């Protein structure tokens, strides 16, 4: 069964797949891990779609790196 980016629980280990979407569920996850300053921007969304990250943990870490936050351990 395909992962539902709108409603399935997201963890740092959730793999990115071709069906990935920037949903409200993803925004909630990212805000939880990156803080209230989290925002999607075009370069970051392009990086996600580039197939560079393999899971949501890498997405969190990259956003923190780009915006001066601490990487998760």
- The predicted-structure confidence for 26-64, as pLDDT tens digits, reads as follows 999 999 999 999 999 999 999 999 978 999 999 999 999
Please provide the distance, in angstroms rounded to a whole number, between the alpha carbons at the two ends of the chain.
Answer: 30
Return the pLDDT at 63.
96
Tell me the C-alpha distance between 62 and 20, whole Å. 17
Residue 71 reports pLDDT greater than 90: no
| Entry pTM | 0.89
């Amino acid at each position: 069964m395909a992962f539902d980016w709108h409603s399935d629980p997201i963890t740092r280990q959730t793999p990115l797949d071709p069906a990935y979407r920037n949903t409200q569920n993803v925004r909630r996850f990212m805000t939880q891990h990156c803080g209230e300053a989290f925002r999607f921007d075009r370069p970051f969304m392009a990086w996600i779609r580039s197939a560079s990250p393999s899971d949501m943990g890498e997405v969190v870490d990259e956003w923190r790196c780009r915006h001066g936050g601490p990487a998760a351990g």
